[in-house]
Structure 1
Amino acid sequence: MSDGVDAVGSARKRRLRPRGGLSIQSKLLIMLLGVSLVSSIVVGAIGFLNGRQSLHDAAVDQLITIRSMRAAELVDAIDEVRKQASLNSRNLSAQNMSTAVNAGYEELEQQVITPEQTAQLESYYSDTFIPELEERTGEEYGDAAFIPESAAGQYAQLHYSMANQDFDTDYDKLLRMNDAGDGTSYSVATERYGDYFTRLVDSLGYEDALLLNLDGDVVFSAYKGIELGTNLHTGPYRESQLSQAYADVMATNSVDSIAMTDFERWIPSMNVPAIWVVSPIGNNERVTGAIAFQISIDAINDVTTGSEQWKKQGLGDTGEVYLVGLDDLMRSTSRRLIEDPGTYAQRAINGGTPPSVAERIADVGGTVLLQPINTFAVAQAQAGKTGTTTGTDYHGGDSVTAYAPLEVEGLDWVIIARIDSAEAFAPVADFTRNVLLTLLGIILAVSLLSLALAQVFTRPIHRLVGAVHRVAEGDLEVQVPQGSRDEFGDLGAAFNDMASSLRIKQDLIDEQQKENEKLLLTLMPESAAAKYRQGDEAITEAHENVSVVFAELVGFDDFARDLTAEEEIGFLNTLMRGFDDAAEKAGVEKVRTLRGGYLASSGLTVPRVDNVRRSVEFARGLRDAADRFNAQNGSSIAIRAGVDSGTVTSGLVARTNLAYDLWGDAVNLAYRVRSVTGEPGIYVSQTVRDRTQEMFTYTEAGTVDVQGRTETVWKVA
């Protein structure tokens, strides 16, 4: 009785012993103060760090910066194009080409165009070019509208445009096909100097390059299009901006003059918008013609889209930079068309674009000279003003826009940078949301504080109850947190110690079971082991179509006579490992090994159609393993093996001292055929020989008596 009292007293003393941690009451006080202080600090920090107006101004300033950068890049790019055009038209190659090609073209005027050739030219336009053009543009054209008036022009088109302008032709090959092979001085000149145009197009990325004489004739084209041979003063393109630009630069009679056109639809390029840069050819003494370079739309788009790297350029998911002309039509390609062509038409219609125009944009995959932009920002920029605005964009959505005129000589373009208002002002919206959520959070926290305190008290108990249930279910990995230094912490530490102790014991039991299982499987196949674990008394299995290999070592006793026991077992293990490797390679199953023998089967545990072949190959593998051993150790050990195939029985012999064995006619015959001659070798029954005679070479080795009949034994070569 006194012992019980002493134990209770000791436990009570332990409970009353002072701890180093804070009391529950102290923790509650600190928690209440902490919630109030942290809430006040968070709200103050958010209000200090996030100013609505500053975020708004930052978004607008970023858009202005992007617009200014793109404008500067575009001006530099256009200036570079003009400079390159001027340089390339004044060098000696251009002058020599102009003189030679002009002379050759003038001689072509003496060529007689036969009625058959005229009909051929008319057929080319009526059957090939014009149908393709009308399908692309939706407009109608006369069959003879584009045929040059001059004999030289017709001759050039017959021998170049018609010969080369197959729409399935390799354009790179077309660019380099400068000799019509007609022996004219014109062809000689174009073959000699055409490479100059080829190099310009390849290196500078022009869409095309035209050579013109003083009369306005297009005497050469890099791609030999249908503009070749036409006259810009009197021909089908006399109303084009190219014609006007040519007239302007030639009127100056100066090689320093240069003219650049706005985008215009160029019929020879299937009505695709084109920009031309025209510069006279010659020197300070005389002018012999002009070069017109066709600038690619991509050259403009690469600048406005930043090579389609909008996000990297600070334009997010919806921002873009585009150009607009005085006619309120776009001069670059819309980002939305590039990224989402499937929905572009409907968006454009929602923004006020006529349905026919929107569908046309979707069909051709471009907005240049098609997409109308009638926004306030465009109107302000066209009036020479620079600024920002927020309003409806050309797709009907709300956008933040930075606008300005583009300062490029000869081009009345404006540059617009825009981004969806929702994306531009997302930080502002986030700021507002954060403030509101913070205030609501503080109110909610105060309201739920009493409930939270109750949960704080009961949470450790819930953890322990849950952990106990998991241990009862077999989960011994469970641990409970020990962060607190009060009674709950002590209880959690004690529980964790208990769970760890149980886990260690269970791990030891599991490890022992694994070792027992591994040992069992080394003695017998899985099927026999399963029956043994179930407690079956008679464990046997009959197997059909199983090949048996019974092999014995010949000469090992002589080799081991002078060896110690340790050396003998070491060499024997080396041999057996080689035999095991041969078994694994051949796909046979080891049944048992003895000091001087090896019993294996094929098709026993895993049925195999080719078990006979595998058994013979295994026997040969045993022979090879013995040969390798002899070569390494200077021994003369040999293999005497017997192979048969048939029905066998496998099972456990006794239950106290387990022994898995194999018996039956096939085992007996395999044992007997191995010693038919007494010599080393691989011996097989008639059954094995009949099933593998096409795979191995056999020689007759003798006979054995089997149940009253004579069985021929064969030796494997």
Structure 2
Amino acid sequence: MRTITIRTRIMLMLLLVGILSCAILGYLGSDYGQKIIAKEVNDQLSIVLSSKKDQIKTYLTSIENVVEVMGQNPTVIESAEAFSEAFYKLEEEQLNAECSSALGNYYTQFIDRLSQNMEIKKDQLLYYPKSLEGCYLQFEYIVNNPNPLGEKDKMNYAPDSSAYSSVHQKYHPFFRMLLKKYNFYDIFIVDLKKGDIVYSVFKETDFATNLYTGPYRSSNLADLARRLQTNSDLQKASWIDFAPYRPSYGAPAAFIGIPLTIEGQTVGGLIFQLPIGEINRIMTGGKQWETDGLGKTGETFLVGQDHLMRSVSRFFIQDSLGYRKTLLQKGEVEANIDRMYRYGSTVLQQKIHSNSLNEAFEGKSGVIEDSDYRGIEVIRHYEPLNFPGLDWAIVSKKDKEESFQPVTEFNKSIFIQTLVLILCITLLSLILANRFVKPVEKLTQAAKQLINGDTSQKVVIKSKDEFGVLGDTFNTMIGQLDEQKKAIQDQLQENQNLLENFVPPDFINRIKKGERTFADEYQNVSFITVDIVGFGALTNQVGAKKSATILNDLVDAFDEAAARNYVEKLRTVGDTYFAACGLFEPRLDHAKRIVQFALEIKQLLAQINLNRKLDLQMKTSVHTGNVMAGIVGTDKFSFDVWGETINYLFTMNHKTQDISLVLSEEVTERLSDLYTFTPVGEGTMSGKRIFTIKTV
């Protein structure tokens, strides 16, 4: 029997290895290519989402700033008083038959058009103003206004010689200029006590109606007016989310408003109706999706808590008929689609069914592959908008088919290249067989060095056959070992950073030098302890998970306030927050800063109570003195502070349970020129008086 020579065996073996290597490389190349493309798509979507998020938040912030500035504008406040006074001075006007008929005819047309967009009762009495002043003003400024519908704001005053028309003539040009300059849809002045809209720029059917008892008492505009009545921060604007607004024929409308005050007394409310067009322009990039890097199927849009869009769909704009056909094929109700096309927008019409939105509304962000609202597989990025007052999520997505089209082309290229490579290996196998031993020796030598722990050696094999692949793989393995070494070093550094969160840097250096138990004395340090009163009861009421979320929010808010006031947090134990000022960074104004911190977190807790509808209270004690600080324990050591100052602080906190903020005599002596202090009780503690701030 004829034996197969070693040369032949090597040739056959090289050929077999070559074919297998090509197949493996092809698979790995395809898999790697898909991952690279996926990463590029995800990176692009992430960049676009981040950019759009910044743009929309910048826009909303600019609107908020305008509203807050206008809320302090003397002209605006003066106009609110003037409009309210003139509104209630209007005498009852006897509307003649022509006037009544004209008002009725206008509402007939209004209701007919509104009923095309919304399911309503066609009863004029449901929409008429409830007051004679409202009927009179709507006739003079809407029905008897010579300007066409949509341009009623062009009339500066009604020719009726009334005091209201004089006021309107004086202030209307200012508000109309403001509306045009900032592209608002409408501007309202509302009597927040009675609920009357005493002025509007655009003059829709909400003008001169009552938001508390009138036809639009259930609107989001009315909800905002009620909210402004109880707004604790009179200089802070409040938002209300988009909802169908009947005076605008059911179109989506969002509002932002602020109370108007004089010396702390509310004289009215200034409310702006937000334009949806600017939000759509930002989210669509001015319809330049491909320029934004979204290709032919990518888009970015906003979604509300109700899972309805807050900005328009790209596909509704680009291919309206195709969009309708796609929704019908997906099984959407035709009546809902028809309503969408009557509005001419997907805002508050297109439902987004995705569990990822629930995560976004819980404050999470992420990437998911699923079906979009058209029933098409997409790559979706999502995250919360994180804008106070508007609970929205922002989504950036792109069709998977378009995203991975380069992978399909890449796979074709890999297949052709693999066939060519196999042919080359077959032709060159004879030559490579003669050189087989040399690469093996190199690999053997390098492996021995690796066993000895030397990862610096690289195998140099210039051939492009299987040995070249093996050499490259070996080098890659060595590189990974180096990376693992680096990862271990990084982990050690991370542990160092984590330790610094619990122990001061100076103490860490001493621990590294071998010291285990030591302490230093610190003089002139101010301390504060804060107990969240009522948190235990709240935990029993809402459960551990929700109470933990509330406690985290409180601690984060306290930490931010501490950083602003150069206060050093020492620890939190349950619902108790313990901090100092001037401990590790000596400060001459440590008492002042820690009192400022105490007052600030009191305001923060009040705001959190208001936002979350809670009734948490705060028991705060402040004391100044000398302490000892150091490392306690050997195996499980910790940083701690102690001394008479700390004992006095917690004793003071315990014995003054009914006072929200108490300060020691040492603190008040330092700050007597900044605050007015009031003694707590008639007695003393350890021979010293305890005080509270009079204004608190």
TM-score (norm 1): 0.53
**Which of 101, 105, 108 pairs up with 1:123?**
105
Q: Deviations over 1:238-295 (max 9, x none)?
A: 1111111111112237531321111111111111101111112234343211111111
SS at match of 2:396: strand
Residue 100 of structure 1: CA displacement?
Answer: 1.6
Write the letter of the residue equivalent to 2:191: N
Pair 1:208 & 2:190 matched: no
Q: Within 2, Cα distance between the matches of 1:170 and 1:355?
A: 30
SS at match of 1:307: coil
The 8 Å contact of residues 117 and 339 in structure 2, kept in 1 or not, is answered as: no
Residue 434 of structure 1: CA displacement?
Answer: 1.6
**Which of 144, 152, 161 pairs up with 1:163?**
144
Shift of the 325–415 alpha-carbon distance from structure 1 to 2, 3 Å rule, reads same
SS at match of 1:280: strand
Write the letter of the residue equivalent to 2:216: Y
Partner of 1:274: 253
Pair 1:195 & 2:173 matched: yes
Partner of 2:66: 84
Q: Within 2, Cα distance between the matches of 1:325 and 1:285?
A: 34
**Which of 156, 166, 172 pairs up with 1:178?**
156
SS at match of 1:419: strand
Q: Within 1, Cα distance between the matches of 2:45 and 2:331?
A: 25
Partner of 2:47: 65
| Two-structure CA RMSD over aligned residues (Å) | 2.9
Pair 1:52 & 2:34 matched: yes
Pair 1:75 & 2:57 matched: yes
Q: Within 2, Cα distance between the matches of 1:424 and 1:380?
A: 24
Write the letter of the residue equivalent to 1:163: N
**Which of 95, 107, 111 pairs up with 2:89?**
107
Write the letter of the residue equivalent to 2:170: R
The 8 Å contact of residues 142 and 203 in structure 2, kept in 1 or not, is answered as: yes
**Count of residue correspondences:** 405
The 8 Å contact of residues 50 and 431 in structure 1, kept in 2 or not, is answered as: no
Q: Within 2, Cα distance between the matches of 1:335 and 1:329?
A: 15
Residue 304 of structure 1: CA displacement?
Answer: 1.3
Q: Within 1, Cα distance between the matches of 2:271 and 2:38?
A: 47
Q: Within 1, Cα distance between the matches of 2:362 and 2:251?
A: 29
Partner of 2:380: 401
Spell out the pairing of 1:40-439 with structure 2 (5 A cutoff).
Answer: 51-114=33-96, 117-126=99-108, 128-137=109-118, 139-164=120-145, 168-169=148-149, 171=151, 174-214=152-192, 215-252=194-231, 255-439=234-418
SS at match of 1:164: coil
Q: Within 2, Cα distance between the matches of 1:445 and 1:283?
A: 89
Q: Within 1, Cα distance between the matches of 2:389 and 2:312?
A: 21
Shift of the 189–201 alpha-carbon distance from structure 1 to 2, 3 Å rule, reads same
Residue 115 of structure 1: CA displacement?
Answer: 6.0
Residue 431 of structure 1: CA displacement?
Answer: 2.1
Write the letter of the residue equivalent to 1:190: H
Write the letter of the residue equivalent to 2:70: N
Shift of the 379–253 alpha-carbon distance from structure 1 to 2, 3 Å rule, reads closer
Q: Within 2, Cα distance between the matches of 1:309 and 1:272?
A: 25
Q: Deviations over 1:36-91 (max 9, x none)?
A: 9xxx9xx99x9599743233222212212221221222122112111111111220
Write the letter of the residue equivalent to 1:69: S
Q: Deviations over 1:88-119 (max 9, x none)?
A: 12201101211221111111144444565444
Shift of the 382–191 alpha-carbon distance from structure 1 to 2, 3 Å rule, reads same
The 8 Å contact of residues 34 and 404 in structure 2, kept in 1 or not, is answered as: no
Residue 176 of structure 1: CA displacement?
Answer: 2.6
Spell out the pairing of 1:273-672 with structure 2 (5 A cutoff).
Answer: 273-440=252-419
Of the structure 1 ranges 185-194 and 404-413, higher mean CA displacement relative to structure 2 is found in 404-413
Shift of the 315–116 alpha-carbon distance from structure 1 to 2, 3 Å rule, reads same
Shift of the 383–234 alpha-carbon distance from structure 1 to 2, 3 Å rule, reads same
SS at match of 2:61: helix
Write the letter of the residue equivalent to 2:229: M
SS at match of 1:252: coil
Of the structure 1 ranges 430-439 and 417-426, higher mean CA displacement relative to structure 2 is found in 430-439
Shift of the 133–67 alpha-carbon distance from structure 1 to 2, 3 Å rule, reads same
SS at match of 1:408: coil
Shift of the 260–64 alpha-carbon distance from structure 1 to 2, 3 Å rule, reads same
Q: Within 1, Cα distance between the matches of 2:287 and 2:313?
A: 11
Residue 364 of structure 1: CA displacement?
Answer: 2.7
SS at match of 2:144: helix
Q: Within 1, Cα distance between the matches of 2:394 and 2:227?
A: 27
Write the letter of the residue equivalent to 2:156: N
Shift of the 302–232 alpha-carbon distance from structure 1 to 2, 3 Å rule, reads same
The 8 Å contact of residues 93 and 136 in structure 2, kept in 1 or not, is answered as: yes
Q: Within 2, Cα distance between the matches of 1:49 and 1:354?
A: 41
Q: Within 2, Cα distance between the matches of 1:420 and 1:170?
A: 40
The 8 Å contact of residues 165 and 224 in structure 1, kept in 2 or not, is answered as: no
Q: Within 2, Cα distance between the matches of 1:407 and 1:351?
A: 32
Spell out the pairing of 1:692-707 with structure 2 (5 A cutoff).
Answer: none
Shift of the 165–289 alpha-carbon distance from structure 1 to 2, 3 Å rule, reads farther
**Identity of paired residues, percent?**
30
Q: Within 2, Cα distance between the matches of 1:376 and 1:143?
A: 43
The 8 Å contact of residues 251 and 343 in structure 2, kept in 1 or not, is answered as: no
SS at match of 1:262: strand
Q: Within 1, Cα distance between the matches of 2:30 and 2:354?
A: 37
Q: Deviations over 1:397-441 (max 9, x none)?
A: 110000111211122211111000112223333322221132345
The 8 Å contact of residues 90 and 283 in structure 1, kept in 2 or not, is answered as: no
SS at match of 1:263: strand
The 8 Å contact of residues 297 and 402 in structure 2, kept in 1 or not, is answered as: yes
Of the structure 1 ranges 317-326 and 356-365, higher mean CA displacement relative to structure 2 is found in 356-365
Write the letter of the residue equivalent to 1:373: I
Runs of at least 5 residues in structure 1 that lack an aligned partner in the other structure: 1-35, 448-717
TM-score (norm 2): 0.55
Shift of the 253–442 alpha-carbon distance from structure 1 to 2, 3 Å rule, reads closer
Q: Within 2, Cα distance between the matches of 1:228 and 1:131?
A: 19
Of the structure 1 ranges 393-402 and 283-292, higher mean CA displacement relative to structure 2 is found in 283-292
Q: Deviations over 1:455-488 (max 9, x none)?
A: xxxxxxxxxxxxxxxxxxxxxxxxxxxxxxxxxx
SS at match of 2:42: helix
The 8 Å contact of residues 350 and 396 in structure 1, kept in 2 or not, is answered as: no
Shift of the 272–352 alpha-carbon distance from structure 1 to 2, 3 Å rule, reads same
SS at match of 2:125: coil
Shift of the 387–179 alpha-carbon distance from structure 1 to 2, 3 Å rule, reads same
Residue 151 of structure 1: CA displacement?
Answer: 1.2
The 8 Å contact of residues 150 and 202 in structure 2, kept in 1 or not, is answered as: no
Q: Within 2, Cα distance between the matches of 1:142 and 1:96?
A: 38
Q: Within 1, Cα distance between the matches of 2:141 and 2:205?
A: 9
Q: Deviations over 1:597-625 (max 9, x none)?
A: xxxxxxxxxxxxxxxxxxxxxxxxxxxxx
Shift of the 48–315 alpha-carbon distance from structure 1 to 2, 3 Å rule, reads closer
The 8 Å contact of residues 326 and 374 in structure 2, kept in 1 or not, is answered as: yes
The 8 Å contact of residues 378 and 414 in structure 1, kept in 2 or not, is answered as: yes
Larger Rg: 1
